[in-house]
Amino acid sequence: MKIVAEALLKFACGLLLVGLLIFLPAGTFGYTYGWYFIVLLFAPMLAVGFLMLFKAPDFLIKRLDAKEKQGAQKGVVAFSGLMFIAGFVVAGLDFRFGWSTMPTWVVITASVLFLVAYALYAEVMRENAYLSRTIKVEEGQTVVDTGMYGVIRHPMYAVTILLFLMIPLVLGSWYALIAFAFYPALIVVRLKDEEALLTRELPGYTAYKQKVKHRIIPFVW
């Protein structure tokens, strides 16, 4: 029950915060793309949360722990939070003042890609039981080199880049895309620290880097 209470509290707080950040700047609850995005984001999140609760409660506990311990990564997390706040606020203001004119087909395509990214994220979590929201090496952790991990070393980051870059498009705002465009750079900073830690502390990771050459973009980087 403690896990359920903590998960539901974080879910409710996230829903309330995103709603406030979108609809207050918009000045109305009539921001259709805002509601559309909230459903796309939180409905799968709730479903996956309950699935983890019944199938892998230990993994759910790990996902609820978002307190980064490394100093540099605390800065990355803080900047990411500012990026999300700015992106949602700008999207709301964009709707309010009519800055953007985005074709419906762009919003629909972005929505499809958003859900595809969500599904891939779930697959990454299924493949890697050691996946956490903080950079660390657990006792008994081994290298995962199957599935998407056999193609790129950090499929979770690759998927989240696609996921987050689709958010402003789902919200119908070209201007909000400017704020979210900082996310790939943040991932590069975070990834370099993580790779250094894994190379130093995770047995077999050096050999894995030789086997899987690319980090987040196949055949590129």
- Is residue 1 over pLDDT 80? no
Residue 110 CA to residue 107 CA, distance in Å, equals: 5
| Rg of the chain taking only CA atoms, in angstroms | 18
Residue 121: name the closest of 145, 87, 156, 93 by CA: 156
Residue 119 CA to residue 131 CA, distance in Å, equals: 16
pLDDT of residue 51: 67
Write down all domains in the chain, each with its CATH number in brackets: 2-211 (1.20.120.1630)
Do 48 and 124 touch, CB atoms closer than 8 A? no
Residue 90 CA to residue 88 CA, distance in Å, equals: 5
User: How is 141-177 classified by DSSP, letter by letter?
Assistant: -----SGGGGT-S-HHHHHHHHHHHHHHHHTT-HHHH
pLDDT of residue 133: 58
Q: How many CB atoms lie within 10 A of CB 96?
A: 14
pLDDT of residue 125: 81
34: confidence class by pLDDT, cuts 50, 70, 90: very high
Q: How many CB atoms lie within 10 A of CB 155?
A: 24
DSSP state, 62?
H
**Top-confidence residue, 180 or 1:** 180
Contacts of 221 (CB under 8 A, 6+ apart): 214, 215
pLDDT of residue 40: 93
pLDDT of residue 141: 79
pTM: 0.85
Which pLDDT tens digit goes with each residue over 56-82? 666 555 555 555 555 566 777 788 889
Residue 188 CA to residue 112 CA, distance in Å, equals: 26
pLDDT of residue 57: 62
CA angle 69, 2, 163 (to 5 degrees): 55
> At which residue do the structure tokens 């991990």 appear?
149
Which pLDDT tens digit goes with each residue over 108-136? 999 999 999 988 988 888 787 777 656 66
The maximal CA–CA distance of the chain, rounded, in angstroms, is 54
Distances from the Cα of 63 to the Cαs of 43, 56, 67, 82, 96, in angstroms? Answer: 17, 11, 10, 21, 35
Distances from the Cα of 217 to the Cαs of 102, 106, 124, 152, 195, in angstroms? Answer: 28, 23, 15, 7, 15
